Structure 1
């Protein structure tokens, strides 16, 4: 069955819903429900999403969405479609750009406004069994001994969307309604009765494929193909790599100790999975820098795989 609404986990879909000036009320409502403790956002401005380093040789950062609120706080809002080996490291690195850009010339006392990173993830990045059902990770700097927040102006919110499992009838808050819409929008055929609110009515109107012009339809289909290709290669390779690694680990464990053998096998399985992801991505035309970010392999390793295949 053909989809009626766009998939918000595509680059086009995410930016169509949240990244257009005419729809910034959608982004403001989502952020207000996500962070009710920081005060309501009443207006925001979209900023340039490509950030350059202080010198030509520095690595740049390209955000999905980058905006500034009416109180001067910066928000990086990202959709993350597939697991990356150093995703946490990348999000910390990206946060340094809005921190540095607040530097002022002349007599400056280093005072800064808040910087928030929000990552909506279509994968699970924390495999801790103790947090199997924890979908939201709210990170700040704190004193380890007292657990008091040390610096409230730097905050990271990670949403592991595969862990959200509530049905439409189980939704209790507007925040949960946003999570439900983000996870299920592409599967819906109409606006559910529980979502008959002004903000969601507008979202469904914005996301309805029948309202798109020809240019937007082609752009969305291209973005959707990229999303499906990326998800397919990562899901397949990761599954095969882990299964192979688990089997090898069990075999080695019989002779050398189960725990040690299994750990080594899983590590090797992940390495094989990363190489398989890279090979599949090469076949589908992705460039070396994107493949490197996706797998954690160095770009030189990716290039070697490209020349050997």
Structure 2
């Protein structure tokens, strides 16, 4: 049952979008007294869930587990029993898959009834992304085979759920669920390996029934959270969605939450800083091409357009065209 609270008890300050900026953050590494000062670009007022590292931060850690369970139950409704609990697994799978390279998932978890779930946020369009999703699912199935001493035991279901920020299938529906079927009869041969794709560009605000559909409400937040200044009232009454908005609102972060956010995403910030250095070099040489390339790289990383403007100085219209 959805947990709602009376509108009279809402704290309106949770829904303001005052930006928080900082040029450096001082981090003390665990078990040491070493101070590490890392330059951090300005954060947008509201973090976009379509950004890869924000998605993993929001849904891929133990203390945010109820949020992930709620999202997965909305996606898998009618396909699997409701998820009561889940366990986060190591996202790096070492083996001979994918040309002997390690396979790294965004989020990898197992439910209490042993269903394996791999969740991906994919912003960069890849012509063979379905092959990659298949490889992810097969990796999880191989892991089951490697740990089972009894080969007569059936495999547990595997779902690879991909939020893709591009159009892949030639149909109007934004959600596709594929598995192994007989081509002649359409009958399911196996329901153990499932690929679910949610194509975000096909999702339109005026087509979402977020007041009555839990999945539509989630898709509204995932697709538009970084763009909206206020949430629809029906979503603000929902405890889970209020929590999502509050966590994504950088102005509402406590000092501890902000430090934790920076610590968990330090790798991604360092990557952004490296790109920013390329920008500085391009400026020194007076090359517009350098600015454009940096903006394109940042955009493919899923960065907010406003943040790209701050880094490159290019117009929003120019960035959207890249």
TM-score by length of 1: 0.67
Equivalent residue number for residue 18 of structure 1: 59
For 1:138, which of 177, 182, 189 is the aligned residue? 177
For 1:158, which of 155, 180, 197 is the aligned residue? 197
In 2, the alpha carbon distance for the partners of 1:149 and 1:139 equals 10
Contact 2:115-2:157 within 8 A present in 1 as well: yes
Contact 2:123-2:164 within 8 A present in 1 as well: yes
What is the Cα deviation at residue 194 of structure 1? Answer: 1.5
For 2:231, which of 179, 185, 191 is the aligned residue? 191
Pair 1:119–1:284, CA change in 2 (3 A): closer
**1:202 is aligned to 2:247:** no
Note the 1:269-284 alignment, pairs <5 A.
280=293
* Unmatched 5+ stretches in structure 2: 1-17, 20-43, 276-288, 299-322
**1:216 is aligned to 2:258:** no
Q: Which whole-Å deviations, capped at 9, do the CAs of 1:45-99 have from their partners, x for residues lacking one?
A: 0000001114997222100000000001110000001101211111111111110
Pair 1:207–1:96, CA change in 2 (3 A): same
What is the Cα deviation at residue 190 of structure 1? Answer: 3.1
Note the 1:26-45 alignment, pairs <5 A.
26-37=67-78, 38-45=80-87
For 1:114, which of 157, 168, 180 is the aligned residue? 157
What is the Cα deviation at residue 108 of structure 1? Answer: 2.7
For 2:134, which of 89, 92, 98 is the aligned residue? 92
Contact 1:18-1:26 within 8 A present in 2 as well: yes
In 2, the alpha carbon distance for the partners of 1:169 and 1:134 equals 12
In 1, the alpha carbon distance for the partners of 2:250 and 2:231 equals 14
Root mean square deviation of aligned Cα: 3.2
Q: Secondary structure at the match of 2:49?
A: coil
What is the Cα deviation at residue 193 of structure 1? Answer: 0.5
Q: Secondary structure at the match of 1:187?
A: coil
Pair 1:110–1:185, CA change in 2 (3 A): same
Question: When you count helix as a share of all residues, which structure comes out higher?
Answer: 1
Q: Secondary structure at the match of 2:144?
A: coil
* Unmatched 5+ stretches in structure 1: 231-275, 286-309
Equivalent residue number for residue 176 of structure 1: 216
In 2, the alpha carbon distance for the partners of 1:225 and 1:162 equals 29
> Which is further off, 56-65 or 109-118?
56-65
In 1, the alpha carbon distance for the partners of 2:97 and 2:133 equals 21
In 2, the alpha carbon distance for the partners of 1:116 and 1:55 equals 18
Contact 1:124-1:162 within 8 A present in 2 as well: yes
Q: Secondary structure at the match of 2:205?
A: coil
In 2, the alpha carbon distance for the partners of 1:87 and 1:12 equals 19
Q: How many residue pairs are counted as aligned between the two chains?
A: 232
In 1, the alpha carbon distance for the partners of 2:98 and 2:137 equals 19
Contact 1:168-1:180 within 8 A present in 2 as well: no
Q: Which has the higher contact order (CA 8 A, sep 6+)?
A: 2
In 2, the alpha carbon distance for the partners of 1:124 and 1:220 equals 28
What is the Cα deviation at residue 216 of structure 1? Answer: 2.6
